[in-house]
Amino acid sequence: MSFQAYIDNVKAKTGKTPEDFAKLAAKNGSTKHGEIVTWLKRDFALGHGHATAIAAVVLKSGGVSLGPLESLITVGATSCAATVRRRSSLLS
Q: What is the mean pLDDT of each run of 10 residues along the chain (92 residues)?
A: 87 94 89 92 95 91 51 52 53 54
Residue 25 to residues 14, 32, 56, 68: CA-CA distances in angstroms? 15, 10, 12, 18
| Angle at alpha carbon of residue 16, lines to 10 and 20, rounded to 5° | 125
Q: Phi/psi class of residue 45: alpha, beta or left (left: φ > 0; alpha: ψ in -120 to 50)? A: left
Give the CA count within 13 Å in the CB-facing half-sphere of 51.
18
What does pTM read for this prediction?
0.66
11 in Cβ contact with 73 (< 8 Å): no
pLDDT at 38: 95
